[in-house]
Amino acid sequence: MSQTTVNSDSPPARGDNALEQSLYAKRERIYPREVHGLFARLRLTGVAALMGIFYFTPWITWDARQAILFDLPARKFYIFGITFWPQDFIYLALLLIVAALSLFFFTALAGRLWCGYACPQTVWTEVFLWIERKLEGDRSQQMKLDKAPWSGRKLAVKGGKHAIWIVLAAWTGYTFVGYFTPIRELGQSVLSLATGPWETFWIIFYGFATYGNAGWLREQVCIYMCPYARFQSAMFDKNTLIISYDAARGDPRGARKRSTDYKSKGLGDCVDCKICVQVCPTGIDIRNGLQYECIGCAACVDACDDVMEKMGYPKGLVRYTTENAIEGRPARVLRPRVLVYACMLLAVIGTVVGSIVTRIPVGLDVIRDRNSLYRETQDGLVENVYLLKLINMDDVDHVYRLTASGIPGLQLKLDRREVLAPAGAVVEFSARLQADPYDLGSQSTEVRFTLAAVADEAITTTEQARFIGPGSGR
């Protein structure tokens, strides 16, 4: 059957109807053929490095503590020497902005680099495919096995594959939970089957997600579930690096012998072997032009280069290129879009680094006592009561002193003159403010509490509060 042949004057991208149909068509199982080559090696390096980082990181110790631990039960995030608190939520938000901007930047520059080399979906699918290949053999053997009736051997091979997948997925779930609860202790409780209900739940949940996504869903995740795949085209322009088939060089396609003078027969360089289609993990034909299913994995580049080499033709019939280059126009790498993304990215990274470096490791929350608006003392002063919550985010103990300002002659009354807070502790205490009613401009006046560490003047923070009085009408 030759329904994949597309004549050269058909539009490069699929029409909307064809796209919609393919989007919702019943899925045919895809058996990606194994590839070797430059980009396959690059991807393998990426997969190995990322897997290594993911599985190894929770085991690193730093200052006698797990180096990277998002301690949800204690509401503290440890990242090497620094401890982050819920009050530091802003950093998480900034980090997400950095991640989004990097994605924009790299997408504008080089298309779906992320998808092809770094996305967890690609990485785990790659590993699961590798296991599948080891057990079931290459593409044609896999297809044969699937068609064959159930037999003892088929059962053993399939069962073995799923067993290994499940073990790997369970280990992945365990590692994942190990980022949120100390992994060594977790390991002991797993071994003694004594994990808490929630930990058990999340290990199974994440393990199951890995098994399902990498073992079963695969390219469907990219096609139907990935939001990035849907909006990345907005970041593309004619200078974005994409994977493309050189139609001018390749068409008209046709099979031929290696020795044929195909040019005199009017044929292009494409021998129509369809190997590029067979290796594609999303099952598309790159010769139909840029399609949104293409995750930019470059498997077809490696595959076609191989064919070209065997035929003795120059490589690069399918290659990394830009739309401009294919159309014979000059390609520019540094263009306004890329520069704007780069500047924004640098600005946000600068802000994050700058604010972490100058981060002051003390936090103060002030809540007015809800039970009474204000009270008058025997001396005719107006008194407000506040509840203060001090968080020592430093790694050492500190003694703090509190001051208040905002109203002339404002007096601060404390039970203790100084507050001691151990490293990483939260201390609550109450404070009373007294002011002369004649000094109060209005019913509600702004006051400021300033907390400073006795030993280190730089560790200081100021928090605002309202002072309620009877108003100026008297």
Partner 1 sequence: MNEAEIPASQRIIGILWPSFLTAAAATVVFFALFDPVELLAYTDFADSSRVGVYTVGFFLFWLLTTTSSTLTSYFQRPTRTPG
- Fill in the amino acid letter for 318: V
Could you say whether residue 267 binds ligand SF4 (CB under 6 A)? no
Could you say whether residue 201 binds partner 1 (CB under 8 A)? yes
Cα 72 to Cα 4: distance, rounded to the nearest angstrom: 52
Which stretch in 94-102, 190-198, 274-282, 430-438 sits in contact with ligand SF4 by CB under 6 A?
274-282
3-10: long-range pairs with CB below 8 Å, 24+: 4/274, 4/277, 4/285, 5/253, 5/272, 6/285, 6/287, 6/288, 7/252, 8/247, 8/251, 8/252
Q: How many CB atoms lie within 10 A of CB 73?
A: 9
| Least distance from ligand SF4 to the Cβ atom of residue 394, Å | 50
> Which of partner 1, ligand SF4, none does residue 197 bind to, with CB < 5 to 8 Å depending on kind?
partner 1
| Least distance from ligand SF4 to the Cβ atom of residue 275, Å | 4
> Which of partner 1, ligand SF4, none does residue 272 bind to, with CB < 5 to 8 Å depending on kind?
ligand SF4
Could you say whether residue 231 binds partner 1 (CB under 8 A)? no
> Which of ligand SF4, partner 1, none does residue 243 bind to, with CB < 5 to 8 Å depending on kind?
ligand SF4
Q: What is the DSSP letter of 445?
A: E
**Cis check: omega of the bond before 182, within 30 degrees of 0:** no
Cα 160 to Cα 13: distance, rounded to the nearest angstrom: 41
Q: What is the DSSP string of 133-164?
A: HHHH-SHHHHHHHHHSPP-HHHHHHHHHHHHH
Cα 57 to Cα 353: distance, rounded to the nearest angstrom: 22
Could you say whether residue 199 binds partner 1 (CB under 8 A)? yes
> Which of partner 1, ligand SF4, none does residue 383 bind to, with CB < 5 to 8 Å depending on kind?
none
Cα 40 to Cα 279: distance, rounded to the nearest angstrom: 11
Instruction: For ligand SF4, give the closer residue by CB, 9 or 379.
Output: 9
Which stretch in 272-280, 380-388, 410-418, 443-451 sits in contact with ligand SF4 by CB under 6 A?
272-280
Which stretch in 127-135, 191-199, 289-297, 393-401 sits in contact with partner 1 by CB under 8 A?
191-199
Could you say whether residue 248 binds partner 1 (CB under 8 A)? no
Cα 206 to Cα 338: distance, rounded to the nearest angstrom: 36
Could you say whether residue 170 binds ligand SF4 (CB under 6 A)? no
| Least distance from partner 1 to the Cβ atom of residue 21, Å | 8
For the segment 281-310, give every residue that binds ligand SF4 (CB under 6 A): 281-282, 284, 286-287, 294-300, 303-304, 307
Cα 279 to Cα 219: distance, rounded to the nearest angstrom: 13
Q: Residue 32: in which H helix or E strand, if any?
A: none
Could you say whether residue 275 binds ligand SF4 (CB under 6 A)? yes
Could you say whether residue 314 binds partner 1 (CB under 8 A)? no
> Which of partner 1, ligand SF4, none does residue 297 bind to, with CB < 5 to 8 Å depending on kind?
ligand SF4
Q: What is the DSSP letter of 14?
A: P
Count of residues engaged in binding partner 1, rule: CB under 8 A: 21
Which stretch in 20-28, 32-40, 309-317, 368-376 sits in contact with partner 1 by CB under 8 A?
20-28
279: β partners: none
Binder among 227, 266, 330, 473 for partner 1 (CB under 8 A): 227
Smallest Cα–Cα separation from 406: which of 390, 389, 384?
384
Q: What is the DSSP letter of 87?
A: G
**Binding track over 31-70 against partner 1, x by CB under 8 A:** ----------------------------------------
